[in-house]
Structure 1
């Protein structure tokens, strides 16, 4: 895997939210499931900034690690390489705040 992609695996025993900024897109992983965040931009060095909170991993993609150069052209893939849409496996009745999903 090159520097323009980042695997995320849920090794816990509850659902985990992968939250991609700045578009507030959410992808939910069941225990044991793995997803990959991949830049679609060609020829740039993408850095991934991650924040972990209860039940959630938030990811920002930056060109050359510069937080002023947000990479908005990305894809989230499942283990088979299928491109996923935001809301993938979102729990019914999921609540939100300005900062993202509310994990009870």
Structure 2
């Protein structure tokens, strides 16, 4: 049996104490984000990850920013040149509304 004295652990090698649990602290939502193939949309979806590192009151700013970016991406899709939209078609099988009796 050895009578060795445990060595003192230097300050730098001591394990850090775990931080106390704070339910109000930011916590990652860890929602998976699947790429869409559209660079603008994918960038906005990645931006949602920023909310993981913010307190709840900071989420609104991120969500509004992402919403604005997605709306702009959708508007840009509508503005791209392409074939003209088809004209509205009406069902010719349906009877016309009658606005009074002309008999």
TM-score by length of 2: 0.19
Higher strand proportion (structure 1 or 2): 1
Larger radius of gyration: 2
Higher helix proportion (structure 1 or 2): 2
Query: Larger relative contact order (C-alpha < 8 A, sep ≥ 6)?
Result: 1
